Amino acid sequence: MDETRKHQVSLRGSSVKEITRDALLEKVSQERELRNYARRANAAALFIQRVWRRYKVTKMVALQLQEEWETLVNRNADGMTGTWISNAVLRPFLFFTACLSVRHQKIQIRDINCMKTCFRILLESLNSTDIKKNFCSLATSTLEERRVWTFQARKLISLCLFILSEFNKSHAGGQDIIVLTSLAMRLVVFLTDLKGWKSITGDNHQDSDRAVKDLVWFMGSGKSGIYISIRRYITTLDVSVSSQINSVVPTDDKILITASAITLALRPFHMINLDVNGPAILDVHNAAEQYCVFLLTIPWLVQRLPSILIPALKHKSILSPCFQTILILKEKILTKMSEMDQSEIHASSKVIPPVGWALANIICLATGSGNDSVDPGWFIQGLDYASYVHVVITLAENFLGWLENVGWMRKEKQDDIIDVSAEPIDTILHETETMYGSAEISYMDMFRPISQQWHLKNLLAIMNADSHTQSAETVPPNNIERSEKFELLDIAFFYSYMLRIFSVLNPTFGSLPVLNMLSFTPGFLVNLWGALESILFPRNSHITESNHHLCISKNSGKEKDGGFVKKQKGANKDGSNKWVNVLNKFTGKSQSGSDYRDVIEGHPRPSPVNEDSSNEWDIEPLRSGPQGISKDLTCLLHLFCATYSHLLLILDDIEFYEKQVPFTLEQQQRIASMLNTLVYNGFSNGIGRQNRPLMDSAIRCLHLMYERDCRHQFCPPVLWLSPATKNRPPIAVAARTHEVFSANLRTDDALTIRSMGSIITTTPHVFPFEERVEMFREFIKMDKASRKMAGEVSGPGSQSVEIVVRRGHIVEDGFQQLNSLGSRLKSSIHVSFVSECGLPEAGLDYGGLSKEFLTDITKAAFSPEYGLFSQTSTSDRLLIPNASARYLENGIQMIEFLGRVVGKALYEGILLDYSFSHVFVQKLLGRYSFLDELSTLDPELYRNLIYVKHYDGDVKELSLDFTVTEESFGQRHVIELKSGGKDVSVTNENKMQYVHAIADYKLNRQILPFSNAFYRGLIDLISPSWLKLFNASEVNQLLSGGNHDIDVDDLKNNTRYTGGYSQGSRTIKIFWEVIRDFEPKERCMLLKFVTSCSRAPLLGFKHLQPTFTIHKVACDLPIWATIGGQDVERLPSASTCYNTLKLPTYKRPSTLKAKLLYAISSNAGFELS
């Protein structure tokens, strides 16, 4: 038999076509599934029929009972007893209302009348003093009647709360539903208030009390749905916001309903306080939990309720159990808040989640606000401050997590590196401004107490007065897990989270209101630094056991005690190899056997720094960055950095250096070292999402400290270099990784490249200045190589620009011929000069005349007489754009062209003889200038503003207003510093605003059009990221060279001799003797004569290209010319294109000196040749 027929089965004999076994099994399985499906379908149909028949029959019975009930009630209006009400009225009533209204979640019109009738009967019965007629008398009767009464009373409460929840859905605004809801609330209030029972006697008081408590516990247990119903009702009330006016005036019935609802919501709390030893004390957190989840999360809870009801919500008997419950059951409560049905949340919840509303409502309820400056605000009486702060911290942390998740969903595709020039990172949900703009503003208004000084002062006073005790009324149960002490760390967490929330949700001012308050609260910043100093500098201050735990994270790793130390030791060992691995991945080399010399041939290793002095400023607890410190220390650092960076903006130099407030200069050095170590290691070890707020504030504070030190040094230079002393990468590696920083790399490379790129762009000062200059040159070298690969530079002389320039019109000719080139100015320029006599000057330009052209054009254009630039009134006479340049023909375009000229000089490594004002360079670096920098621009104006700032009398006596006067071409222009400024007098209240407005105008607004124009020209040749390696003074040094003198020994060691001269030649020996005797100015003139630039290269003469050369010019003279007679009459000459000095063979030093001085003072190019 063949193989196929072997596995076939005959179903009906050989006459029927046979099928395979697998096909048979599949067919049987399909038929079985069809039969099962048919059975399930039949069962489902039968079930649906039964349900429908049951519903139909139940509805018919309910309607029939309702008709009979109406007839019965109308016929027996008088003579109703409590027993008859229970049996004949309530039993059918509860049945048909449950079937016709509750089950459908909708109150029918016919049911409204029935409910009103029933509730009136019950209220009349409850008000009766006749025990037989009083319905509540059944609560103290026989056991069976008590059971029935309890069941019916609970059902009535549930029905009344259902009516409350349907208030806005059923016949919204109709008078009938208002009356019904009012009756329902009155009934529940009567039932749950022992004072309202008229049937109480001395014998049954205890039973009555037990029955009332049973109902109250029922409401608080959650089975009644009281808090959900009250939530639904309150959300229908109008919000009273400053930007809105209630269009509907609440009626007496509505006020009664609202008051009854709040009374019922608070009744379980009052019962807890009245009977703390009762059997239901185990349910103490049940009502508080529901209250927190459903009521405290209502948007604008306080703003919706009548002001007369607010004190009840603010009472300590309500807030204290809520605070304790949140702290004990925080995980459960936060989970419930996050799982709340979004359909029940107010429309604005598309922006703010329930936990956000709970946070805002708690702040409103725990504080009060005054209407004047004398009594600006207060905490409610008897508030447990520690619980309040811990609750706010708990909710704020969860709220920030939600904000971060929503915000980062939009940022995941962006670069992970922090943009240090941007505002704080958590900007999110801008659709709020268009969809619910006024609502967002009012939401942040609920946080107003946080930004007021009384709030922080009260917390500090409580912390200082009694940090170990708590109010006896608010002592938490033994199982509550929170700190027994109210410490500075709690306040730090509180305001750290508040800063982040304000920065995200305050669309106008960000965290500015809180920062203003924190910065000017006396002693707060000093206290923060004291806590940090004791942790980070234990050798300088006593470290306490309570602070020691802040260093070692209890939530950042289980192995902190041992692993943390191991990580520190390994970091320095592996740090330097990381950069080698990066370059190896670019070049394809293996790691084994390679070191820095093998990686980058010809590039020196980082400059050695005294290890002992650098270790002093490398803070050990911060060597792993934010990832290696505890959550507590992160919080302290974040709050300190954010607050101090804000204070630094307005702290003038007198306060900083002379008065030394708030910190001494020694403390400022420690702060700078802390920030420097934290930021550097943060980028070196990677930045987690949770550490971005800390890094943002630390970077901002570090930049302000560093810029102040650059302007007026208070830190030793080694401090800024210390974090990178041991693992600083080689120059070429740093430059190349910076250039590929934003390129698409593999995932395993990306983190290392990003972190290194961030170090270079954010903290370039950790590299010595010389290394950054080499890095800058490396960038230009790479740019030239890429241009050559792109075909822009294909050979010698190609793509060059030929220009002819008249000596007397060098600026105009240069502008006309070069301004339109843009970035093509990177190509070589061949210059032909026309002398003032109109004759072409002799010589070929191999680079020397183009250097001379750049030097001469800047000399003419930067001259104050030309009108484009002026000099500052300081002693160093630095260049600043002239405010009148805007009125000159092509003034702005000329300044843009000069930006290209300066860019060309930087690109070619040509030094210029001019330096710019610190303020102007700050603008080129994209940095904002503040008050103290005015001293570098206009010292007299700065002194006057400081005088106004510290003026003790009435500033009105000075007759100042918010204007500034400018003078140009004999005309005076009055400029308003603010809208209507000429009509606004400067007073003691606004003098700070005036001082900073003047400074802002002089330092930023006035100079901005010119700096923007210069910047546009500059970046055609120089990338902005290259310039940001340097501070303002270093940019000037990069442009104009080092000291205004020459290192003769360095020049001598890097000089080449040709034409027969050697180092031992008599004329050469005389030359170096004469040069040493020159004045510094004369040596600079010599250098300019030979190289067309008066300053030495930044890194020494070994970097001068071509090499400085002295060429022999032979002259026949007798040997006795050395002792008398006639010496060589020929003058020295120079070939600037080759950096060559053509020196005749002078025999006497006096002759050489005289001839050389004459030549270098003639200001001619090749004409002396």
Beta-carbon neighbour count of residue 5 at 10 Å?
8
- Tokens linked to 960: 């100042």
Rounded Cα gap, residues 117 and 73, in angstroms = 8
What 3-state class would DSSP assign to 8? strand
Q: How many helices (H) and strands (E) does the chain have?
A: 47, 14
Name 1110's Cβ contacts closer than 8 Å, sequence gap at least 6.
Answer: 1055, 1056, 1057, 1058, 1061, 1068, 1071, 1140, 1141, 1143
Name 832's Cβ contacts closer than 8 Å, sequence gap at least 6.
Answer: 802, 803, 804, 805, 840, 841, 845, 849
Q: Backbone phi, then psi, for 378, in 5-degree steps?
A: -160, 165
At residue 485, what is the residue type?
Answer: K
Element (H or E) spanning 803, and its range? strand 801-806
User: Taking Cα atoms as reference points, which of 626, 646, 701, 374 lies closest to residue 520?
Assistant: 646
Question: How do strand 801-806 and strand 829-834 relate by DSSP bridges?
Answer: parallel
Rounded Cα gap, residues 42 and 50, in angstroms = 12
Question: Is the distance from CB of 834 to CB of 841 less than 8 angstroms?
Answer: yes
Question: Is the distance from CB of 1121 to CB of 1147 less than 8 angstroms?
Answer: yes
Rounded Cα gap, residues 431 and 672, in angstroms = 39
What 3-state class would DSSP assign to 207? helix
Length of the chain: 1169
Rounded Cα gap, residues 679 and 318, in angstroms = 45
Rounded Cα gap, residues 60 and 68, in angstroms = 12
What 3-state class would DSSP assign to 774? helix
- Tokens linked to 83: 């027993």
Q: Backbone phi, then psi, for 369, in 5-degree steps?
A: -120, 135
Rounded Cα gap, residues 738 and 804, in angstroms = 39
Beta-carbon neighbour count of residue 386 at 10 Å?
25
Q: Backbone phi, then psi, for 1057, in 5-degree steps?
A: -115, 135
Rounded Cα gap, residues 154 and 603, in angstroms = 87
Rounded Cα gap, residues 584 and 730, in angstroms = 13
Question: Is the distance from CB of 799 to CB of 793 less than 8 angstroms?
Answer: yes
What 3-state class would DSSP assign to 1109? strand
SS (H, E, C) 881-910: ECHHHHHCCCHHHHHHHHHHHHHHHHHHCC
Kindly name the residue from 160, 715, 1084, 1137 that is annotated as catalytic.
Answer: 1137
The percent of the chain in helix, strand and coil, each rounded to the nearest 5, is 60, 5, 35
Element (H or E) spanning 1140, and its range? strand 1140-1144
At residue 1136, what is the residue type?
Answer: T
Q: Which residues of 897-914 are buried (b: 16+ CB within 10 A; e: fewer)?
A: bbbbbbbbbbbbbbbbbb
Question: Is the distance from CB of 514 to CB of 498 less than 8 angstroms?
Answer: yes
Rounded Cα gap, residues 243 and 229, in angstroms = 28
Active site includes 292?
A: no
Question: Is the distance from CB of 1039 to CB of 921 less than 8 angstroms?
Answer: no
In 995-1086, DSSP assigns E strands to 1055-1058
CA 1057: distance to chain centroid?
Answer: 60
Catalytic residues: 1137
